[in-house]
Amino acid sequence: MSASGIGTSALLAFQRAIGTTSNNIANSATEGYSRQRTELSNLTPQFLGGSFQGQGVQVDTIRRISDDFVNTQLRNSISDQSNAELKASLAGRIDDLLGSSSSGLTPVLQDFFDAGQDLANDPTSSAARTVFLTEAESLAERFASIDRRIEEQRDIINGQIRTNVDEINSLTEAVAGLNREIVSKSTQGTPNDLLDQRDRVLNQLAEKVNVRITEQDDGAVNVFVGNGQALVLGGNNRELVAESLTGDPRSPDIGLATSGDPVNISRFIQGGELGALLETRGGIIDEAQNTLGRLAISIGEEFNQQNNLGLDLEGNLGANIFGISEPTVRGFPGNESGGVPEVEITDVRAMTTSDYRLRNVGGEYELTRLSDGTSVTPENGVLELDGISVNTNAIGGVEDGDEWLIQPTRNGARDLSVDMTDPAGIAAAAAVRADLGEDNKGGATIASVRADASDINLGDLSADEPDVVSFVADGGSDEQGAFVIDDQAFDLDDNGVTTISFNGWEMEIRGTPADGDTFGVSSNEGYPGDSRNMLAMNDLSDERLVGGDRTFGDGYNSLLANVGTRTRQAQVAQESADAQLEQARAQREAVSGVNLDEEAADLIRYQQAYQAAAQVISVSNSLFDTLLGAVRR
């Protein structure tokens, strides 16, 4: 090749290099742009005069400077940061709601207990009774108010879940479209700008959910979520859906669309905004509502039971103060059976904050606590777990695989109400009283007496015809003697204490009785100034009744502590994720970013080379002209 041809090849090559450098400079502020470099190589040399002579330069390719490992790190960091940031924001809202003195439960709960103390001090006061009922109504309303606020946050989260699902579908469709374009153009060279565009879309997708990317031989990428659910395979994408797949219409699940029913993949979704939304809804929103619900049910049931054991101002056994919600039971979509099991609370003190799943497997039922997977099987069609009883005998048309969601406490806070309207109905007085026999000679005393069951028959008790307990020195199996009533014997224990339960009442006797001593138990009607049952109600505030290990106040404080801990953990995770994302972006910029100083230096270098190549052409032309001139002479 002539010098002119060599100069021309160099001129064209450096022109392309200048264009690539100019493009880098122009896109230095373009997000996601990967700098490019013109790769040059020498043309095949020609054998002349016993040696090889160079023939100039050619452009091999315009190379995109990118590192797949660095890009993967960046996507993971983007996913972690968006996840932590959203979780911290959502948890902070719930923490502020529950911990606020104006919207939280603590001050109202204390006012309710204080009103009970005031009523115990003056049980016949109509004003104290009215205040007690008013504070009970305020307590129920505060429970409902907090539940409504939490439901508002649930609605916001559900809306964001649906929005994220729509955006994910749009992004996966865009990735599939870019895959098709990249594959179609890869035969003509590397489509650098399309690759950058696809990386930008993948980064946007990582903000929504944690994804795993694999590349095919033809340049297309596959996108997976969870434990291998494919969202993009080459030029095709699969859509997600947000709808109820587990029986709870208030909590849409994430499903992967198929030719049949969507496949529920909620438990596999991690990272990104969608992972944060699902985790917050299940870990904070559900837990907060269930904990509040259990607390409301516990307060209502315990105060109702105690009020049932006392006498109101009319001398009647007390009625219920509070109305309490029933467990929520819903069948899963797709169940063959339209029936639901009968579920009732049998022991409020054994209840947990978990939801439960009832499932028919091969004709056998299984009840599972969703918080830890503990399961039980039925006896005579009834399953019992954590203070709830599930009767499956009423379900008809059941097929293998049918499932039901059971939420014993979900609506407890929402549905707590005050059913009592007349303050006179508050049973401040104890239902029974006990008296020593007039001719008793021993040192035994009555330590306490109380109604022990709401079905106590007060009609059989009166001052004239009490239930009479007699001590027989040689009765029973105890050498010390025994207390006897209606042919039932109750022995003294080693400490001289005897507890006698009979006819719906319970009496504790202490000390040493004499043979023939008697103890009468009669109705307490006619003693409205008695406040023993109100004192027993007040004592409920200090007993560990919630879950068997917490007081009412502790039950709420544990919720505050749990939410506060989660909030702080989310904030710490956000700080860490912010730092990691900054490092990942810096690393990506170090590899793929445009350094204007370097590009300016390259531009000058290529400009000088371009000018030198032009000079080669000029010299070659001059030599050719001189040669032609010599020939003409």
Residue 146 shares a structural domain with residue 223? yes
- CB of 563 closer than 8 Å to CB of 284: yes
4-18: pLDDT as tens digits:
788 888 888 888 989
Measure CA 627 to chain center.
88
CA distance 2 to 11: 14
Q: How confident is the model at residue 176 (pLDDT cuts 50, 70, 90)?
A: very high
> Residue 251 domain-assigned?
yes
CATH of the domain at 628: 1.10.287
Residue 492 shares a structural domain with residue 451? yes
> Residue 534 domain-assigned?
no
pLDDT at 409 over 70: yes
pLDDT at 478 over 70: no
> Residue 389 domain-assigned?
yes
342-359: pLDDT as tens digits:
999 999 999 999 999 999
CA distance 629 to 632: 5
Q: What is the pLDDT of residue 249?
A: 87
> Residue 535 domain-assigned?
no
Q: Which domain holds residue 13?
A: 3-65+595-632
Average pLDDT over residues 307-335: 92
Residue 382 shares a structural domain with residue 516? no
- CB of 116 closer than 8 Å to CB of 261: no
> Residue 451 domain-assigned?
yes
Average pLDDT over residues 43-60: 81
> Residue 375 domain-assigned?
yes
Q: Which residues on adjacent β-strands are paired with residue 329?
A: 406
Whole-prediction pTM value?
0.86
74-105: pLDDT as tens digits:
999 999 999 999 999 999 999 998 888 788 89
pLDDT at 599 over 80: yes
pLDDT at 580 over 80: yes
pLDDT at 625 over 70: no
CA distance 483 to 515: 10
Q: Considering only CA atoms, which of 309, 310, 395, 300 is closest in space to residue 351?
A: 300
Residue 513 shares a structural domain with residue 616? no
Q: What is the pLDDT of residue 9?
A: 84
* Amino acid occupying residue 615: Q
